[in-house]
Amino acid sequence: VRCYHGSKLPPEYVKAVEKLLGSLENRSYTTHNLPTNEILKQGSIQKLYCSFSSRKIPTGQYWRWNQAKSRQTVHLPLGVVTFYKLTARKSKKALFEAPKCKLWKFEISPHNGKPFYVLWCEKSSTDVSSLACDSEAKSEITLQDLSFLKPFMEPELANQLWPSFHF
Is 25 domain-assigned? Answer: yes
Clarify whether residues 117 and 146 are in a common domain. no
Clarify whether residues 128 and 153 are in a common domain. no
Between 86 and 159, residue with greater pLDDT: 86
Residue range 66-112, pLDDT digits in tens = 998 789 999 998 899 999 999 999 888 777 788 889 999 999 999 88
Clarify whether residues 89 and 43 are in a common domain. yes
Measured CA to CA, the distance from residue 85 to residue 57 in angstroms comes to: 13
Tally of domains in the chain: 2
In Å, what is the CA distance from 45 to each residue of 26, 59, 71?
Answer: 12, 16, 19
Is 3 domain-assigned? Answer: no
Measured CA to CA, the distance from residue 64 to residue 87 in angstroms comes to: 8
Measured CA to CA, the distance from residue 1 to residue 11 in angstroms comes to: 10
Measured CA to CA, the distance from residue 104 to residue 85 in angstroms comes to: 5
Residue range 4-16, pLDDT digits in tens = 455 688 899 999 9
**Enclosing domain of residue 97:** 11-133
Clarify whether residues 15 and 95 are in a common domain. yes
Is 159 domain-assigned? Answer: yes
Residue range 122-131, pLDDT digits in tens = 998 755 555 5
Is 5 domain-assigned? Answer: no
pTM of the model: 0.72
Measured CA to CA, the distance from residue 100 to residue 65 in angstroms comes to: 11
At 140 the pLDDT is 63
Is 44 domain-assigned? Answer: yes
DSSP state of 105: E
Measured CA to CA, the distance from residue 27 to residue 44 in angstroms comes to: 12
Is 4 domain-assigned? Answer: no
Clarify whether residues 129 and 144 are in a common domain. no
In Å, what is the CA distance from 80 to each residue of 58, 72, 160?
Answer: 26, 10, 63
Is 1 domain-assigned? Answer: no
Q: Predicted confidence band at 149 (pLDDT cuts at 50, 70, 90)?
A: confident
Clarify whether residues 93 and 150 are in a common domain. no
